[in-house]
Amino acid sequence: MKTQLLATLLVSSSLLGGCSNLSAESESTMNISNKTKAVALLNAIETGDSKAISYVNASDYTQHNLAIADGLAGFGEALQAQPKGSAKVNVERVFEDGDYVFTHTNYNFFGPKVGFDLFRFENGQIVEHWDNLAQKAQQANPSGRTQLDGVTTVLDLDKTAENKALVAGFVETILINAEYDKLTKYFDGDHYLQHNTAIADGVSGLGQAIEAMGQQGITMEYDKAFKILGEGNFVLAISEGRFAGKPTSYYDLFRIENGKIAEHWDVMETILNKEQWKNANGKFGNL
């Protein structure tokens, strides 16, 4: 019931434009961190907390989830379509990089899912949203890890720029250019924790997975990195390519330790055909 009320308010607030920003509340929310606002908006999918609406600029909100119509009205319509009482949200990780906040979340949203959400803020309000969602795996990967467990603590804030540069180099050199002979530059031997559902720990596990896919005729291609975002020891890379021949959006989260990649989570999402899009903003628009 609370989620349905929030959905109704979201649709209504979109129609009302700037009035929905609840100016009386806006001053009181300025001291709330952008991280807190992003998490509150996600939690509202489950709780129906209507105050979360005030964290969104109702007159200027751009949606890049291609299955959802643009603006707050589109978000509200998606919530209304969700079976009553089924929505669940547990934000496992949240990070901030300038005007951006990105989260790693355990969902039940039209079924069990794992997702990354990216929000852009202007003047303390959310004005843009991107995401990548995948079905939640029913079992752990070959090393007993899930898509969501592992380290959550942010460290090394003074090394954010350095760590972002490391990941940018890894994406360009290894994932896009496939220069696998340079793998050792990015890892501390075989010490590498893996949360991909099909790959075991270690650089050796990654190599075995790539070899196995090749034997099955399955290709994983990265063509372009759109955004590298980070906070301390965590860095998110957003890229486009093809998996098994299908256009794919890649969100890869890396944890860096002592200048090397130590842990990895990811969500791969097949990009909808253009005739299925419910908005014209593009999966990677404005990134």
Could you report the per-residue pLDDT of 86-127, keeping only the tens digit for each?
A: 899 999 999 999 999 999 999 998 999 999 999 999 999 999
In this structure, is the dihedral angle defined by the CA atoms of residues 214, 220, 224 and 227, taken in order, positive or negative?
Answer: negative
| Interval 138-175: pLDDT, tens | 999 999 999 999 999 999 999 999 999 999 999 999 99
Q: Per the domain annotation, does 287 fall within a domain?
A: no
Q: Per the domain annotation, does 38 fall within a domain?
A: yes
Q: Which domain holds residue 178?
A: 157-270
Q: For the chain, what percentages of helix, strand and coil (3-state, to nearest 5) are there?
A: 35, 30, 30
What's the chain's average pLDDT? 91
Q: What 3-state class would DSSP assign to 124?
A: coil
Q: Name which of 13-22, 259-268, 272-281 the model is least confident about.
A: 13-22
CATH number of the domain that 202 lies in?
3.10.450.50
Q: Per the domain annotation, does 35 fall within a domain?
A: yes
Centroid of chain to Cα 61 = 18
235 and 122 in a single domain? The answer is no
Return the ∠ at Cα 240 (arms to 255 and 215), rounded to 5°.
85
Q: Per the domain annotation, does 236 fall within a domain?
A: yes
In this model, does residue 208 exceed pLDDT 80? yes
Q: Which pLDDT value is given to residue 29?
A: 59
Q: Which residues contact 24 (CB under 8 A, 6 or more apart)?
A: none
195 burial via Cβ count (<10 Å: 0-12, 13-18, 19+)? buried
| Residue 85 binned pLDDT confidence (cut-offs 50, 70, 90) | confident
Q: How far apart are CA 260 and CA 256, in angstroms?
A: 5
Q: If you ran DSSP here, which 8-state letter would residue 152 be given?
A: -
Count of domains observed in the chain = 2
82 and 185 in a single domain? The answer is no
Q: Per the domain annotation, does 281 fall within a domain?
A: no
| Interval 251-270: pLDDT, tens | 999 999 999 999 999 999 99
In this model, does residue 18 exceed pLDDT 50? no
Q: Which pLDDT value is given to residue 4?
A: 58
Q: Which pLDDT value is given to residue 79?
A: 86
Q: Which of 135, 165, 181 is the last residue of a domain?
A: 135
129 and 168 in a single domain? The answer is no
